[in-house]
């Protein structure tokens, strides 16, 4: 089976067609561009990308027959207002043919994720899903939380809705199966059991309290439990406890009894009864006031592994079943599909979706609407949760909109800000200095827009907060002028908050004045006369005015939350940079010195400082160091 995620698998049949028109969106020019593509378009499965005059992707679509599907865009009277706007902006198309419609569906989801076009339904969620990993690369493998690419050798169980569910399950695994959770480095240095052994959360394989065969048996029991075979594990523990009691080994019997009690508690604490369902994901969609929300339940091995709410973007004028189908394909770009997917409505493309997901997963996938029994009850519960989550979302959105309107009134903005950028600097006496930017909008913090700026210009004096702020603003807004001069991409802020007083504000204002930017509102947020006391912040405006707010003002709380977020992000980035610097060595800068040779030099000389001070003769006597390498090392440290 070919790899559906390979970005190059369709390149052999790729072609680009373009017609250039004016920069102003025009329906006739868009239709002309599409008709020009139709002249050579095949009636084969594939994917098309519609692009504007700048080459930015407007929309990604798939088709069973490309010629038939793209022809529909020339019949503008039959299109919705949303699609007419898209056609009016279209000046070019990129066509990729595929072997089947299922392949086209997979490629479409991949390209939507890459380009995030404004006319596609988008899964607006930048959080990766956590898994539990039972490793297989050690004599006594560990159990751990895992996110990201699955490169480590082992068994992955998930997805879980959040890290909280993972930690709860890991806690259960420690109680039930006494598996180690420590790192390999910690494991290798132990000469006596740690506290987890004392509180019966680990079997202490690090000091030989259990042999490899016994530990392997515990690992297999944990796999059975995570695969939903808890009854089998329960029977095995009960039998072992009975045998221990008959042999008068009451201490072991008590340990097994506690493990049985933990298993019974876990089975009874499930908020959702999913026994007998196996592996399944359940999705229900709710729609109110033009906003759509999707609730997902994750069931694995008959166990509830949590639920999460999603609120897709760009859903205006899009049918609900089309939104759900687009959501499923993007959702399973990151998550391996289970064998069963339950949805709350019939989907026109359900068979095609199942075929595409089966190709991605490597096993059969069924998509359906349960009608009765426990599956239907679970679906009904998901529907109730979807409605409740959407109600909360709408209520929060109303509150947020009111806050942004009050922020606009406070700082005399023409309308509520859609993008707020907040800046801060972090350093310790000028070392490891960096600037941080966080971004917020009507729907909260936009974390994939956060940026950090390593302070690296020679003219910026270490520890000079004003100089650091100047460097950050010069780099941020010079790049914005270059990449988005007409401000059409939504990356220009409506309001900029600076964690600092009049000095930091003046530094930022000077930069924008030099760049010729006059319409960005800057506000400095200082701690006020009672330094360190929240609620006494002073807001410095560009015209020299200073504003304070009542200590119980909702707008003050909101602005404090923005300031605290950039402070948190800046400190975290600085801490990571400092930690990396602590682990750095002068030997890292020497060309041709790899990890093995670096280790050999440190083992021979003791410290990097000793290597730096060593004579040429001493370097030549070091193991693994040739005469040429010794000369290179000596020259590097002594010819500077």
Q: Which helix (H) or strand (E) holds 239?
A: helix 230-246
Q: Which two tokens stand for residue 158?
A: 């998930």
For residue 487, the cross-strand partners are none
**Tens digits of residue pLDDT in 312-369:** 988 888 899 999 999 999 999 888 899 999 999 999 889 999 999 999 888 899 999 9
Helices (H), 57-205: 66-71, 81-89, 101-115, 163-177, 184-188, 195-198
- Distance CA(615)–CA(612), nearest Å, equals 9
> Across all residues in the chain, what is the average pLDDT?
83
Give the model's pLDDT for residue 9.
47
* Whether the predicted pLDDT of 432 surpasses 90: no
Mean pLDDT of 613-626: 79
Per-residue confidence at 498, pLDDT binned at 50, 70, 90?
Answer: very high
Mean pLDDT of 383-391: 92
For residue 157, the cross-strand partners are 132
Per-residue confidence at 4, pLDDT binned at 50, 70, 90?
Answer: very low
- Distance CA(522)–CA(501), nearest Å, equals 12
Strands 340-343 and 366-368: parallel
Closest by Cα among 331, 360, 359, 329 to 347: 329
- Distance CA(601)–CA(626), nearest Å, equals 12
Per-residue confidence at 487, pLDDT binned at 50, 70, 90?
Answer: confident
Q: Of 158-167, 373-382, 475-484, which range is least confident?
A: 158-167
- Distance CA(240)–CA(263), nearest Å, equals 15
For residue 367, the cross-strand partners are 341
**Tens digits of residue pLDDT in 45-101:** 999 999 998 888 999 999 999 999 999 999 988 888 889 999 999 999 999 999 999
Please give the domain boundaries of the chain with CATH numbers for all domains. Answer: 11-115 (3.40.1440.10), 131-268 (no CATH), 280-391 (3.30.420.340), 420-482+490-581 (3.30.420.340), 586-638 (1.10.150.20)
Give the model's pLDDT for residue 14.
41
* DSSP character string of 16-58: EEE----SS--HHHHHHHHHHHHTT--SS-EEEEEE-TT--EE
Alpha-carbon distance values, 202 to 153, 185, 237, 250 (Å): 22, 17, 17, 19
Q: What angle do CA 471, 475, 480 make, to 5 degrees?
A: 150
- For residue 48, the SS3 value is strand
Give the model's pLDDT for residue 276.
66
> What phi and psi, each to the nearest 5 degrees, are found at residue 39?
-60, -35
- Distance CA(338)–CA(343), nearest Å, equals 13
Alpha-carbon distance values, 631 to 340, 585, 586, 601, 640 (Å): 65, 19, 16, 14, 14
Give the model's pLDDT for residue 12.
37
- Distance CA(33)–CA(118), nearest Å, equals 19
- Distance CA(620)–CA(161), nearest Å, equals 57
Q: How many CA atoms lie within 13 A of 640 on its CB side?
A: 9
Cα dihedral value 268, 274, 279, 281, nearest 10: -120
Q: How many CA atoms lie within 13 A of 551 on its CB side?
A: 7
Give the model's pLDDT for residue 493.
92
Mean pLDDT of 532-537: 63
Q: Which two tokens stand for residue 230?
A: 């808890």
* DSSP character string of 242-278: HHHHHTT-HHHHHHHHHHHHHHHHHHHT-SS--TT--
**Tokens 């405006």 correspond to what residue?**
541
Give the model's pLDDT for residue 621.
78
Q: Of 166-180, 423-437, 463-477, which range is least confident?
A: 423-437
**Numbers of helices and strands, H then E, in the chain:** 20, 20
Per-residue confidence at 218, pLDDT binned at 50, 70, 90?
Answer: confident
387's torsion region: left (phi>0), alpha (psi -120 to 50) or beta? alpha
């Amino acid at each position: 089976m070919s790899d559906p995620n390979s970005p190059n698998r369709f390149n052999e049949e790729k072609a680009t067609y373009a017609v250039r028109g004016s920069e102003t969106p025009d329906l006739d020019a868009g239709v002309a561009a599409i008709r020009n593509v139709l002249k050579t378009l095949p009636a084969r499965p594939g994917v098309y990308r519609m692009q504007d005059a700048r080459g930015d992707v407007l929309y990604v679509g798939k088709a069973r027959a490309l010629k038939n599907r793209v022809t529909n865009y020339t019949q503008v009277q039959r299109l919705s207002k949303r699609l007419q706007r898209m056609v009016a902006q279209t000046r070019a198309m990129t066509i990729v043919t595929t072997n089947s419609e299922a392949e086209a569906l997979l490629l479409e989801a991949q390209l939507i994720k890459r380009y995030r076009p404004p006319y596609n339904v988008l899964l607006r969620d930048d959080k990766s899903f956590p898994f539990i990993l039972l490793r297989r690369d050690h004599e006594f493998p560990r159990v751990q939380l895992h996110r990201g690419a699955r490169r480590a050798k082992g068994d992955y169980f998930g997805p879980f809705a959040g890290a909280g569910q993972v930690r709860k399950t890991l806690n259960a695994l420690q109680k039930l199966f006494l598996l180690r959770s420590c790192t390999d480095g910690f494991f290798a240095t132990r000469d006596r059991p740690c506290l987890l052994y004392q509180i019966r959360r680990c079997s202490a394989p690090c000091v030989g309290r259990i042999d490899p065969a016994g530990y392997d048996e515990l690992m297999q029991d944990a796999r059975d439990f995570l695969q939903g075979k808890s009854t089998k594990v329960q029977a095995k523990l009960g039998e072992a406890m009975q045998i221990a009691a008959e042999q008068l080994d009451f201490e072991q019997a008590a340990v097994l009894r506690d493990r049985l009690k933990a298993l019974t508690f876990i089975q009874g604490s499930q908020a959702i009864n999913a026994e007998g369902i196996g592996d399944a994901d359940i999705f229900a969609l709710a729609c109110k006031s033009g906003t759509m929300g999707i609730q997902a339940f994750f069931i694995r091995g008959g166990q509830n592994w949590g639920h999460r709410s999603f609120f897709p973007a760009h859903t205006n004028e899009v049918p609900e079943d089309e939104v759900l189908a687009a959501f499923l394909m993007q959702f399973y770009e990151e998550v391996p599909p289970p064998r069963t997917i339950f949805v709350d409505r019939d989907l026109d493309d359900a068979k095609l979706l199942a075929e595409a997901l089966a190709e991605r997963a490597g096993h059969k996938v069924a998509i359906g609407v349960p009608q009765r029994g426990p599956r239907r009850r679970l679906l009904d519960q998901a529907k109730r949760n979807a409605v409740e989550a959407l109600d909360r979302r709408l209520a929060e959105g109303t509150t947020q909109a009111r806050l942004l309107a009050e922020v606009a009134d406070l700082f005399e903005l023409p309308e509520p800000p859609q993008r707020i950028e907040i800046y801060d600097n972090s350093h310790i006496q000028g070392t490891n200095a960096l600037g941080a930017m966080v971004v917020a909008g009507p729907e909260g913090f936009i974390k994939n827009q956060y940026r950090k700026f390593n302070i690296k210009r020679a003219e910026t004096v270490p520890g000079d907060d004003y100089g650091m702020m100047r460097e950050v603003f010069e780099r941020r807004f010079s790049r914005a002028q270059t990449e988005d001069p007409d401000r059409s991409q939504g990356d220009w802020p409506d309001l900029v908050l600076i964690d600092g007083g009049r000095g930091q504000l003046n530094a930022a204002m000077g930069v924008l004045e030099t760049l010729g930017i006059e319409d960005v509102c800057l506000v400095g947020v200082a701690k006020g006369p009672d330094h360190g006391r929240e609620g006494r912040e002073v807001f410095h405006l560009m015209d020299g005015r200073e504003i304070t707010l009542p200590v119980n003002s909702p707008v003050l709380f909101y602005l404090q939350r923005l300031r605290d977020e950039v402070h948190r992000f800046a400190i975290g980035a600085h801490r990571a940079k400092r930690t990396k610097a602590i682990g750095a060595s002068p030997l890292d800068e020497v060309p041709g010195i790899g990890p093995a040779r670096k280790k050999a030099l440190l083992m021979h000389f003791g410290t990097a400082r000793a290597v730096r001070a060593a004579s040429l003769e001493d370097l030549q006597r070091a193991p693994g160091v040739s005469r040429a390498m010794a000369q290179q090392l000596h020259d590097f440290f002594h010819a500077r």
